[in-house]
Amino acid sequence: MIRLPLPATLTPERALGFFNAFRAVMLSVIVLVTLTRDYLGQALADGAAFYGWALAYGVLIALWSVLKRAALADIVQLTLGVGADVVMIVLLMRLNGGVGSGYGMLLLPFLAVASLLASGRYALLYALMASVLLVGAELADTARPGAGGVLQTAFLVLACFVTSAVTWRLAGLARRSEQLVRSRTAQLKRLDRFNALALQHLREAVLVVDDTGTVRQFNREARRLFPNVARGKMLIELAPFVARWRERGDAPSAVQATVHGRHLTGRLEPLAQTRSRAMALFLRDSADLADEARREKLAALGRLTANLAHEIRNPLSAISHAADLIAESADNDAQRRLTRIVRDNTRRIDRLVEEVLALNRRDRVRSETLPLSAVLAEFIEQFALSQPDAAGKVLTHFDAAGVAVAFDRGHLQQILWNLAANAWRHGSRTAGSVRIDVGQSAGRVTLTVHDDGAGVPAAIQPHLFEPFHTSESTGTGLGLYIARELAEANGGALDYRPPGGCFRLTCKVAHA
């Protein structure tokens, strides 16, 4: 089915309805002008015929607007309507004395409107229809022979073709311009969405500010640094940056200031291509930068220590094996004592290597839902197998029954093992000397490991979780440090709760 080449915002039904309304307006104007001439004494030669024509055209317009035309294609409806218009205008022209009456010029606006709605070949078809009827009317008008009428008809025919062609051409340009505008608008919207998405995911706080200090645009990180920021609002906190901009002009510059207790650093970029003067501020909290640098340094250190640990393990294994061979052939106590020292220290170094490797694996979190009652029962059973004298002496108490946590199973086992081993080592090793309490509050689960020992000395407490800090000759100083790192990697926390020996592990609740 041939469709009218209309703009996307105009349906064929509406376009044809507008054309019919245009017919009604033109008919009203013609009748009004005729009535005015009649009132001024310039009556038509055959007034009855004119009013009969007007009535017939009005009835045709009314019928055209109410008839159900869904079965006809849009272009067919338009062509039939234009054909009826041409016939009625030519008939009006003949009723008023032929082409010299000037009524033939009414064909031009009808052809122009039709050419706006139709494609090129149909626009020329409508001009041809009008031309054929004009020439036929002139040939049939035997009462007015002569070259004058023929010349006027020729000019009117030419005007019909020119009007249709020019209007169709302009309509085509308008349609192409509209398509181009829609395409460019869609591209700009996509680009704007992409820019907004990229802006929101920047780790820098980005603010676009005009020369009055009014915020025009900002991202999520900017809202974190400036909680009161809003579009179209002036922020007093930005005054130092605006002053710096006015001082430096359009030259980019580094900036820094203290806002809400935060030391902010960044850069200022004037936006010279905007219609009004504006600048873009890219800011970072110095504490965040220092934290990122620390994490990068720790990551590099972790990779280095992992490589060193692997390199140490190979010769360490050879040393341990050689010590075992020497111990088998030792024939006096001095040699056996020396080999025992070698084995003890190789085991200590091997344990240190294992803890360094565990520290390097802290970021590999496989979180799962762990019911604490089952996890603790399994852990106490395994702990009793490794520490036979602890069997039945490690107790558990649940303030919140049936609670589950979101945690890496291996990480939780390693943390519990470290805390329970320390508690058993420093406690009285009697029944109930080590106790694990489970509680829940404010959407968090706490596991508290108690022992009945003397607790951690006050001088050691500030350094308790520092790596390689130990008060024992056999310790590596990495146990508690690794335990805290694993807790934080799982979204939890580990801290010491004086007085006495009490460590609390905080975990996220697992939601069903």
pLDDT for 6 equals: 57
Verify that 300 and 372 share a domain, yes or no. no
H-helix segments, 407-491: 409-426, 479-489
Q: Residue 221: which CATH number?
A: 3.30.450.20
Domain termination site, one of 256, 288, 320: 288
β-bridge pairing 434-441 and 394-398: parallel
Verify that 298 and 282 share a domain, yes or no. no
Residue 185 lies in a domain: no
Verify that 454 and 380 share a domain, yes or no. yes
Verify that 23 and 163 share a domain, yes or no. yes
pLDDT for 2 equals: 44
pLDDT for 505 equals: 92
Residue 314 lies in a domain: yes
Q: Which domain holds residue 37?
A: 12-180
Residue 186 lies in a domain: no
Verify that 492 and 445 share a domain, yes or no. yes
Domain termination site, one of 123, 150, 180: 180
Please identify every stretch of the chain with a pLDDT value under 50, giving residue numbers as ranges. Answer: 1-2, 146-147
CA pair distance 338, 324, nearest whole angstrom:
11
Question: What's the distance, CA 280 to chain centroid?
Answer: 21
Verify that 212 and 124 share a domain, yes or no. no
The encoded tokens of residue 196 equal 């907004």
Q: Give the CA distances from residue 110 to residues 7, 101, 107, 117, 127, in Å, rounded to whole numbers and listed in that order.
A: 20, 18, 5, 11, 10
202: nearest Cα among 287, 271, 266, 276:
266
Verify that 332 and 345 share a domain, yes or no. yes
Phi and psi at residue 370, to the nearest 5° = -120, 115
Verify that 92 and 166 share a domain, yes or no. yes
50: nearest Cα among 111, 110, 101, 113:
101
- Total domains, the chain: 4
Mean pLDDT of the chain: 79
CB 360 within 8 A of CB 303: yes
Phi and psi at residue 283, to the nearest 5° = -125, 145
The encoded tokens of residue 321 equal 């094996």
Verify that 208 and 234 share a domain, yes or no. yes
Verify that 371 and 355 share a domain, yes or no. no
Rounded to 10 degrees, the C-alpha dihedral 22/27/32/38 comes to: 160
On the 0-12 / 13-18 / 19+ scale of CB atoms within 10 A, 134 is: buried
Verify that 350 and 243 share a domain, yes or no. no
In a 3-state reduction of DSSP, which class is residue 325? Answer: helix
Q: Give the CA distances from residue 322 to residues 315, 326, 342, 346, 453, in Å, rounded to whole numbers and listed in that order.
A: 11, 6, 10, 11, 40
34: nearest Cα among 137, 103, 109, 134:
103
Verify that 322 and 352 share a domain, yes or no. yes
118: nearest Cα among 81, 68, 93, 89:
81
Q: Which amino acid is at 280?
A: A
Residue 188 lies in a domain: no
Residue 195 lies in a domain: no
Q: Give the CA distances from residue 75 to residues 4, 68, 160, in Å, rounded to whole numbers and listed in that order.
A: 6, 15, 20
Residue 193 lies in a domain: no
Residue 7 DSSP label: -
| Residue range 386-438, pLDDT digits in tens | 888 888 888 888 887 788 898 888 888 888 988 988 888 888 888 888 898 99
Residue 190 lies in a domain: no
H-helix segments, 330-439: 333-360, 372-386, 409-426
Residue 114 lies in a domain: yes
Domain termination site, one of 319, 335, 360: 360
